[in-house]
Amino acid sequence: MAGKKRIGVLALQGAFLEHQQVLSRLGCEALKARTRQDIMNIDGLIIPGGESTTIGRLLVDYDLGNIIREKAGEGMPVFGTCAGMVVLAREIVGSDQYRLGLMDMEVCRNAFGRQVESFEEDLTIKGIERPVHGIFIRAPYVTRVWGEAQALAEFEGKIVMVRQGHLLATSFHPELTEDTLLHEYFLSMV
């Protein structure tokens, strides 16, 4: 299967199986990324939704933060969804929790409310011709971007999707819909 993209999904905690299923439907080799060796052998990485403080703690425990930073620094595309967005952020409002700090953005955790206040919304995304359905569950939003980071989508004036070169982050969960468009968008970056 020469040429098949090898995409790792950080499989420490959170919704990694759903991302793997979408990637498999799109013809990728979708791998659980749990070790440094796993990270070394992939073409792109997805950091799924879950609990950002737990994911951060596990990145430290499994000694994965530096290798992810190194690979991203070499140009490996990384896509963070929900908690993954928080982990990718350079700054987190009111928190000193562990994060990779790869993207020039500041995020506010659980900013749209608690689990019971979860919602769905169709979003207009810059550079994408049709709306994308977003599922927001205890979602963060971005309070500001700077440097190379660009806001690609907003909801009620809040930034919910950011791209910075080969790095991508969403507040919402594209893996929980039948629409594969955002995974295809990420794969086009790989």
Return the number of other C-beta atoms located less than 10 Å from residue 116's C-beta: 6
Q: Which single residue is written with the structure tokens 């979708």?
A: 30
Set 28, 82, 108, 183: catalytic member: 82
Strands 78-81 and 167-170: parallel
Strands 44-47 and 78-81: parallel
> What Å distances lie between residue 168 and 1, 11, 116, CA to CA?
27, 18, 27
What is the spatial distance between Cα 61 and Cα 98, in angstroms, rounded to a whole number? 11
Set 18, 28, 173, 183: catalytic member: 173
Active site residue 82: yes
Active site residue 108: no
Set 175, 178, 183, 184: catalytic member: 175
* Secondary element (H or E) of residue 86: helix 83-88
What is the spatial distance between Cα 18 and Cα 20, in angstroms, rounded to a whole number? 5
DSSP code of residue 125: -
Active site residue 166: no
What is the spatial distance between Cα 88 and Cα 95, in angstroms, rounded to a whole number? 14
Q: CB–CB of 48/71 below 8 Å? A: no
Residues belonging to the active site? 82, 173, 175
